[in-house]
């Protein structure tokens, strides 16, 4: 029996084991997906153990999506541009390859919600690896303005600087030849942030605030009724409730979890992911 691991701190809340094991069982694939609580001090040793013959790969979640990069042999080009990895799989020679399936998963889920980023104004809360994936894919999809707000302003500024270098050529143009959008960084407690949130077409929560109790990155955001609030936390959060009170649409991150997991599944098994099975388990768990 092969193993696939989920590395993170914490991981007990994750629905990925139920989703992935249901998919593996449906296809009679001889592997088991296990959540492995992994601290920062344990990360290097845990990743090294992925080289064992009985391990197919891993998912990586908070807070390790950036820290894991130097521990791998190869990084897929898009994951290298984003600067974050959420999926590890074995190459042809057994090397550890890092991929980012968060970015395409978010874009697919937003499309299913009827949201297109072209010429839209976006606010992303947080500077995590998931935030990096969100900003990268929204810029590539043509957003007119992307603002990142983080508890620590310096981290938000560094994230945008990294992504600007990754997305632009020597002339400062995006690799499709277009000018980059306005990229702005704010601290979460900056009062000016309220104006940008009020004008946003899309507000993305890429922080971990919302997993427990009444934690929220924004207590009572003023939002346009035409806005979409997308919370990567896959439960009904205080931020989502606040958005709906303002007349805005709100969605949790369950679709993103599904699609990133399906892409990862195909890397590990070489088989098409049974999306209907995975979706049903996520809805029921």
Phi, psi for residue 75 in degrees, rounded to 5: -120, 130
Q: Are residues 15 and 109 in the same domain?
A: no
What CATH number does residue 154 fall under?
3.40.50.720
The stretch 172-182 carries a mean pLDDT of 90
Contact between residue 145 and residue 115 where contact means Cβ atoms under 8 Å apart: no
Q: Are residues 169 and 152 in the same domain?
A: yes
Q: What is the pLDDT of residue 176?
A: 84
What CATH number does residue 265 fall under?
3.40.50.10860
Contact between residue 63 and residue 9 where contact means Cβ atoms under 8 Å apart: yes
Which range, of 28-42, 60-74, 169-183, 251-265, averages the lowest pLDDT? 169-183
- Tally of structural domains, the chain: 2
pLDDT in tens, 2-37: 999 999 999 998 999 999 999 999 999 999 999 999
Q: Are residues 183 and 152 in the same domain?
A: yes
Hey, which residues are catalytic here? 65
Tokens 């955001």 belong to: 221
Contact between residue 277 and residue 22 where contact means Cβ atoms under 8 Å apart: yes
- Strand (E) positions, the chain? 2-8, 31-37, 55-60, 74-75, 87-90, 96-99, 121-125, 145-150, 182-187, 202-205, 228-231, 249-251
Q: Are residues 126 and 240 in the same domain?
A: yes
Q: Percent of the chain scored above 90 by pLDDT?
A: 92
**Coil, helix or strand at residue 31:** strand
Q: Are residues 141 and 179 in the same domain?
A: yes
* 38 closest CA partner among 5, 83, 69: 5
Enter the pTM of the model. Answer: 0.95
pLDDT in tens, 228-277: 999 999 889 999 999 999 999 999 999 999 999 999 999 999 999 999 99
Q: Are residues 44 and 130 in the same domain?
A: no
Q: Are residues 205 and 119 in the same domain?
A: yes
pLDDT in tens, 128-150: 999 999 999 999 999 999 999 99
Question: Count H helices, E strands: the chain?
Answer: 10, 12
Q: What is the pLDDT of residue 211?
A: 81
Q: Across all residues in the chain, what is the average pLDDT?
A: 96
Query: pLDDT band at 91, cuts 50/70/90?
Result: very high
Q: Are residues 131 and 244 in the same domain?
A: yes
Domain range for 142 is 103-252
């Amino acid at each position: 029996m092969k193993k696939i691991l989920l590395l993170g701190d914490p991981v007990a809340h994750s629905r990925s084991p139920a989703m992935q094991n249901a998919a593996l069982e449906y296809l009679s694939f001889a592997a088991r997906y296990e959540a492995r609580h992994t601290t920062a001090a344990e990360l290097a040793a845990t990743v090294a153990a992925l080289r064992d013959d009985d391990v197919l790969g891993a998912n990586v979640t908070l807070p390790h999506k950036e820290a894991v990069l130097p521990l791998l042999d190869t990084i897929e080009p898009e994951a290298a541009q984003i600067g974050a990895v959420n999926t590890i799989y074995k190459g042809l020679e057994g090397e550890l390859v890092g991929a980012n399936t968060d970015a395409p998963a978010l874009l697919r889920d937003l499309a299913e919600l009827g949201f297109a980023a072209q010429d839209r104004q976006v606010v992303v809360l947080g500077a995590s690896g998931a935030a990096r994936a969100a900003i990268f894919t929204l810029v590539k999809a043509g957003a007119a303005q992307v603002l990142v707000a983080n508890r620590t302003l310096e981290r938000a500024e560094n994230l945008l600087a990294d992504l600007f270098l990754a997305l632009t050529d020597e002339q400062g143009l995006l690799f499709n030849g277009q000018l980059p959008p306005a990229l702005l960084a704010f601290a979460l407690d900056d009062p000016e942030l309220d104006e940008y949130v009020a004008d946003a077409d899309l507000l993305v929560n890429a922080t971990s605030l919302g997993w427990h109790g009444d934690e929220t990155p924004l207590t009572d955001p003023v939002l346009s009724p035409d806005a979409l609030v997308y919370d990567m936390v896959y439960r009904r959060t205080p931020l989502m409730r606040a958005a709906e009170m303002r007349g805005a649409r709100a969605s949790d991150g369950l679709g993103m979890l599904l699609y990133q997991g399906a892409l990862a599944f195909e890397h590990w098994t070489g088989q098409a992911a049974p999306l209907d099975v995975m979706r049903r388990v996520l809805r029921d768990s």
